[in-house]
A and B are shown apart, each in its own frame.
Chain A
Amino acid sequence: MEILYAILIAPFVEMGSYPDLFIQALWDGFVAGTLYGLIALGFVLIFKASGVFNFSQPILVVLAALSLVSFYKMGIPAWISVILVLILFYVLAWLVERLILRQLVNQDGNILFMSTIGLTFIIIGAAQWIFGGVPSAMIVNELGFPNGSLEWPMFDGGVYFEMIDISAAVIAVIMIVILAVFFSKTKIGRGLRAVADDHQAALSVGISLNQIWVIVWFVAGIVALVTGIFWGARSDVSFALQIIGFKALPVLIIGGFTSIQGAIIGGLIIGLGEKIFEIYWGPLLGSGVEGWFAYVIALVFLLYRPQGLFGDKLIERV
């Protein structure tokens, strides 16, 4: 009985008795969730447009953060550094299209997947060679993001909103809205969805696969840059950042590999879920719940809804 009480009742009693703590947990979970969502979004964009599961997406996040900080350290002003990183990612997108995707047109998805693993190691090597591997701090203030935190007193205590977290959430939301409008309302967006569905048909109506691929990889690079800035602000900028890329996998399984809104909602489910679970149920299980919670949820989804919340259901006609 006691154990049932501890699982089913005590956590909710606690939520009720310390509402400020609960709201704080929701906010922290929400911010982490939007960032998970952004990482997953990078995967979804490329998967949608070329059917490639892009193993190198996490390393793109590292590359973005690392090159941004390195450019700044060379004495280049922060915002010019951002532009340089964008140029770098455009060149990278172009090179990936030229040297990898174009050579592998019509190949099996597994082969393309393997090629992105290769790309990951090339980027790791090149980035270490050029920028070095020393962890450093993200240049948040230099980029003009506000410092400090807002305190919102309520009930007996108060809830803290870090300014950088607020910035992250606001920018993530703006970016998601822009991307959603871009893909649903523009000619390029329509072309992208066409390429995702059928290469041959897309070519036959005059859509250039090469152009679409460059655009998609570039947009995924922009997403990586935003993720890199805000995730880099939460921890150091180092190669260890790519570990968070693995968090995108359960997010993708929950949201579906092909859905932009799925990536975001999946991210929020994981972010909020693991925070709440850690705080209220974590003590029962010992700590470290955050480490595995996402994967357990993903496992449940794989069993009962393998296409995810918003993914395309695969129906083979026999």
Chain B
Amino acid sequence: MSEKNSVIMEVKNINLRFGGVIAIQNVSFNIFEGEIRAIIGPNGAGKSSMLNVINGFYHPQEGEVWFNGEKRPSMEPYQIAKTGIARTFQNIALFKGMTTIENVMTGRQLKMNKNFFWQMLRYGPAIDEEVQHRRRCEEIIDFLEINHIRKTPVGSLPYGLQKRVELARALAMDPKILLLDEPMAGMNVEEKQDMSRFIIDVNEEFGTTIALIEHDMAVVMDLADRVVVLDYGKLLADGTPAEVQSNQAVIDAYLGVPH
């Protein structure tokens, strides 16, 4: 793991409301370069909303997002993707009609800049570009051990593999920050172990900064370097897994307090 002292992303005093419903209330935290940062909390705590703010699906009413030391202006999700933020979704969002390799190739979409005219004519430089990006995709597919399903349409794959293809697509973007929304939801123990291993490998081999949402406390404690705990849209605790685990407010939120 790389040095963990430089802040790559910081969210400051985020407030997000939907009509009268307050989804996020004055939440601030930061993400260090190269770390695995977990966001946990009970259902409806605002975890996914937070991820959606970072990747631009939601625009908070108040608050700032700082990325690479600069305050980020209000941007559309596809523009934010260009700045190097990739993500996966809680309810898998793959291109179901395409094969695994095609899905992963869409992750290189932004890096391809040859004219469509040359691409249609299969003109030399356009082919070279395609080959070069394809090679990178194949590496990622190897890395995540989904070689055997390269040419399979993803709609027909089992759930656990779909999650892995989604991770591959996000990785193909060579992201500066990778956002994972419940990467292990709905998996059995074995699949969870595989996915944990891949997340750690990605972090160690590529040095990718990862922010993930997870419900399974045991998994979070193993994976994460630091943990943010949200509850009812508010920041409850922020620290190392051990600190968070012994925090009384967190224990109350998870186990309930007698009234």
Q: Is A200's CB under 8 angstroms from B120's CB? A: no
Report if A193-B116 is in contact (Cβ < 8 Å); known contacts: A198-B93, A204-B55, A206-B82.
Answer: no
Interface centre among A178, A182, A187, A197 (most CB of B within 10 A): A187
* A198 cross-chain contacts in B, Cβ below 8 A: 93-96
Among candidates A188, A189, A206, residue contacting B81 with C-beta atoms closer than 8 Å: A206
Tell me, in angstroms, the Cα distance from A224 to B76 when the chains sit together.
32
B97 touches A205 (CB 8 A): no
Docked-complex contact A182 and B97, CB < 8 angstroms: no
Interface bin, chain A: 20 to 34
Whether A188 contacts B97 in the complex (CB less than 8 A), given A201-B89, A206-B110, comes out as no
Contact, CB under 8 Å: A207 / B57:
no
Q: Please state if B98 and A197 are interface contacts (CB–CB under 8 Å).
A: yes
CB proximity to A under 8 Å, residues B30-61: 55, 57
Q: Does B105 sit at the interface, judged by CB under 8 A?
A: yes
Chain B: how many interface residues by the 8 Å CB criterion?
32
Which chain A residues lie closer than 8 Å to B96 at the CB level? 197-198
Question: Count of A-B contacts with CB under 8 A?
Answer: 85
Check A204/B97 contact, CB under 8 A, given A190-B105, A190-B109. no
**Contact A178/B94 with A203-B81, A205-B107 known, Cβ cut-off 8 Å:** no
Contact between B169 and A205, CB atoms less than 8 A apart: yes
| Closest chain B residue, CB of each to CB of A201 | B93
Question: Looking across the interface, which residue of chain A has its beta carbon closest to that of B122?
Answer: A185
With beta carbons under 8 angstroms apart, the residue of B86, B94, B109 that contacts A191 is: B109
Please tell me if A312 contacts chain B, counting CB pairs below 8 Å.
Answer: yes
| Interface contact A204-B86, CB-CB below 8 Å | yes
Instruction: Decide: A205 near B110, CB < 8 A? Known: A178-B120, A182-B116, A200-B57.
Output: yes
Taking CB atoms, residues of chain A closer than 8 Å to B122 are 185
- List CB contacts (< 8 Å) of B70-109 with chain A: 76-79, 81-82, 86-87, 89, 93-98, 102, 105-107, 109
Question: Could you say which residues of chain B place their CB within 8 Å of the CB of A312?
Answer: 97
Chain A 155-182, CB-CB to B under 8 Å as 1, else 0, gives: 0000000000000000000000010011
Q: Which residues on the A side are within 8 Å of B169 (C-beta)? A: 205
9 residue pairs, one from A and one from B, having the closest CB atoms: A206-B81, A201-B93, A197-B95, A203-B77, A186-B116, A186-B119, A206-B110, A208-B78, A187-B112
Q: List 13 A-B contacts (CB under 8 A).
A: A185-B119, A190-B106, A194-B95, A197-B96, A197-B97, A197-B98, A203-B57, A203-B78, A204-B93, A205-B169, A206-B81, A207-B106, A208-B76
